[in-house]
A and B are shown apart, each in its own frame.
Chain A
Amino acid sequence: MDLKYTDEQNAFRKEIRDWLAANVPAKPLQSFDTAEGFEQHREWEKKLSEGNWGLVTWPKEYGGRGCNLVEWLIFEEEYYRAKAPLRVNQNGIFLLGPTLMEYGTPEQKERFITKMAAGEEMWAQGWSEPNAGSDMAAIRSKAVRDGDDYVLNGQKVWSTRAVFADWVFCIFRTDPESSRHKGLSFILVPLDTPGITVRPIPQLDGLPGFAEIFFDDVRVPLENRLGGEGEGWNIAMATAGFERGLMLRSPARFQETAKRLVALYNAHRNDILDLSIEDKVVKCFMDAEAYALTTYQTACRLMKGGKIGPEASTNKIFWSELDQMMHETAMQILASRAELLPSSPAAGDVGTWLDGFLFAQSGPIYAGTNEIQRNIIAERMLGMPRK
């Protein structure tokens, strides 16, 4: 065990720090859930790509830097430290990208990965349906073969970024006789295809962060299927593994929030009457630290050939509940100004805590609710009986 960065790692940190200092926009971008903000973030993705900082962990052959996981952690630490824009294409680069690398044909990799890496095509996710939420195997949207095409019919919901994205990766039922996990296929669909209607769904902040997508005789070529016909479930599970595992929620984000929370507490400490607040601030900081240490330990283990096991389900519970606790504590500190939007004249230093607080409410719900995660932990990690 050696918990010191190597000279190369320190040099890597300096390189990214310098690049970000020179390139991160001075003025924060608008929310990517607005038309204008989405385009601003698309430009930022292109800029990252030009600097070859868009996809540090991707292999070099796909336009990445081939960084190992510790380098990825360092990159993320610097990224959040520099307050660089959120990644508008995270569905693409963190979920679909690794899935394409594993299951895509050479033509699919060439076609989709290149444009994703260049920051040119933005992706939405289309899995959930009105009657297939936590019970994802209940998917009913259909893809029926017709010549060289699939004809798609049905409805997807809670599709993040679908309002402004270019493509959506979906799961459809290709075998009408099948049920549950069998007979599903993973299909990539351009969102401007005739027959598609995207109905924006405003989120808690009033912005259309996700959407319903209606498919009415939508035709896509067979080669838009990722993996074999009927293998959609397994591929989706692999994708969800990327989502739940390391890649989507790097510790740096929570450490940065924890650091801001300490600063917020210090700025208000003379006005705080609730003695438990300081304890919560310390607890938040420790838990963010614990999340970072655990991620580093996992990353180092994986670099030595270890595998991610069912214990990865504990990650999602830990970070989502930590995110809630941090923002709840910030709201308590901000007290009667906590409800104010930053645009209010009296907002003062409320900053983006309210945005973060609203977003934190979604953490325990998306990517498999925390109740589902607890079932997975109990059954697959601890071995408790299903029936």
Chain B
Amino acid sequence: MSTQPIKVVLIDDEEEFSSTLAERLTLRGYETQTAASGEAGLDLVSNQPFDIAILDLLMPGMSGLDTLRQIKSLTPELPVVLLTGHGSTREGMEGMRLGAFDYLMKPLDINELTKKILSAVKN
């Protein structure tokens, strides 16, 4: 594993959530940036190199799945972990099919998230 901090982009319209999560990840040594929409997220991803993207599936405007498609077309190598507050697993499965690494249900267990991040980055 590289000594460089892992660069994480958090794309979620719930800024309260994403900023807090970003702070927690930062405390754990990750370099984190947040985006409040799919478009903003794409902007970040296309301009900066990230090790992993954490993407909420349900967002106003560009949906999580659309954002995922764009990310995968821009940077196919970037692993994406999806987040969903919804019970439906259909979108999660669809995301997996589109190339997402995994998906997690909200509210999150931070330890589970970091495990996923590490395993995604390793892969």
Q: Do A and B make up one complex?
A: no
